């Protein structure tokens, strides 16, 4: 229900399925629009005071792929996903404003990529303080 509310959808409205969301993600990535979109939103939210820049949180989450792995990796229907310690899918790393929880940067990798390896991709550079799990201390930026 919270996702519906966030999208402005009523109870009778259709919610996009996982494949539609995945296809949209691929559409944005292929055109390098995912980073552009986040940067535009970050700038706008900063200008209107929604992003405080007093501290940022970096964390990662596992996202299950829309399909299961095939014995032959070349036959996987979700070609970008991989088998990680939590299953077949992706790892999503985010950098968010500590106060407002607005996402400022994202990085999606196959699940077999260790979380700390995505840290540098989500560091913006204007963070006053960066909060992260102990596992991120192996990154040069934390």
Beta bridge partners of 99: none
Model confidence over 35-53: pLDDT tens digits? Answer: 898 889 888 988 998 888 8
CB 54 within 8 A of CB 89: no
Model confidence over 51-82: pLDDT tens digits? Answer: 888 889 999 889 888 777 766 666 666 778 88
**SS3 sequence, 65-115?**
CCCCCCCCHHHCCCCCCEEECCEEEEEEEEEEECCCCCEEEEEEEECCCCH
> Where are the chain's structural domains?
53-138
């Amino acid at each position: 229900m919270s996702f519906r509310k966030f999208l402005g959808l009523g109870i009778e409205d259709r919610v996009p399925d996982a494949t539609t969301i995945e296809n949209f993600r691929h559409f944005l990535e292929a055109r390098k629009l995912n980073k552009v979109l986040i940067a535009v939103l970050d700038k706008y939210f900063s200008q209107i005071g929604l992003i405080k820049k007093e501290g940022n949180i970096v964390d990662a989450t596992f996202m299950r792929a829309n399909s299961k792995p095939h014995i032959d990796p070349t036959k996987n229907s979700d070609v970008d996903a991989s088998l990680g310690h939590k299953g077949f899918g992706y790892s999503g790393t985010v950098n968010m404003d500590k106060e407002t929880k607005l996402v400022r940067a994202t990085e999606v990798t196959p699940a077999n990529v260790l979380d700390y390896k995505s840290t540098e991709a989500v560091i913006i550079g204007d963070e006053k303080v960066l909060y992260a799990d102990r596992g991120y201390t192996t990154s040069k930026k934390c």
